Amino acid sequence: MRTSLDSRRNFLKFFGTTTLGLAVAACAGRAAREEVTAAELALIRRTGTLPIVTWSPSATERDAVLRRKAALAGRLRRRDLERLDVLMRATLKVSGGVGLAAPQVGVSRRIFLVELQSEPRRVVTCVDPRIIERSREMVDGYEGCLSIPKVGGKVSRHTSVTVSYTTLDGKRVTYVSKGWEARIFQHEYDHLDGILYVDRLKGPLLPYEEIRRLRKAEKKPGKQAALDPTATPWAVM
């Protein structure tokens, strides 16, 4: 009989030792003010949803859209920006994720969506965002990515961040995000610099069912909520 340990070993063998440290070359330097390409416009002018670009942790290509530093959104015309927003919102909705960055749908622009975690839940569009402040305090949590299907892993993130971004109406706003929501902002922001959560893993990549089991096993009665993995919703983004 195959044990869960066997399947975990096979899984790790399949993915090798992941891609730790591969990404960061992509994020050196400032984001470019590139002209909009014909390929980008072809995607933006579609209707319905956009296919999500996926990545295998054993892949080595460095110029793929998920590994590039995305260009500033500033060069996109307002109408195209709004079209892209409609497509990304529809894509996020059907994906079941809590956040989505434009490179995940093949558009290498500095735009992402985050579902705010306070009630009423709403999705904000952040154009040319910058994280202008990060808490010194860090917290571990499990993350999954829509671009890396069926697996997840533990990542350490700042417990709060201050994000400055432009809205679709062209207003520059500053927003302070805490807890699980701050994790989503950091995950999406990384996408704009070609960084994937697998570059920040604390431990192995695991199949979803293994993460569910671990979160259950780690639960301790009376444990501080922020440190209790079961207190943190597990989601992909």
CB 76 within 8 A of CB 116: no
* Shortest Cβ 184–Zn ion spacing (Å): 9
What is the spatial distance between Cα 188 and Cα 109, in angstroms, rounded to a whole number? 12
Residue 145 interacting with Zn ion (CB under 5 A): yes
Stretch that binds Zn ion, among 74-82, 127-135, 142-150, 167-175 (CB under 5 A): 142-150
> Catalytic: 188?
yes
Phi, psi of 110 (to 5 degrees): -85, 80
Between residues 23 and 80, which has the closer beta carbon with respect to Zn ion?
23
Choose, from 188, 209, 210, 218, the residue flagged as catalytic: 188
Between residues 103 and 229, which has the closer beta carbon with respect to Zn ion?
103
Stretch that binds Zn ion, among 50-58, 116-124, 127-135, 143-151 (CB under 5 A): 143-151
Residues 6+ apart with CB under 8 A from 193: 23, 26, 27, 69, 70
What residue is closest to Zn ion based on CB?
Answer: 145
Write a three-state SS string for 170-184.
Answer: CCEEEEEEEHHHHHH
Q: What are the residue numbers of the active site?
A: 188
Binding site for Zn ion (CB under 5 A): 145, 237
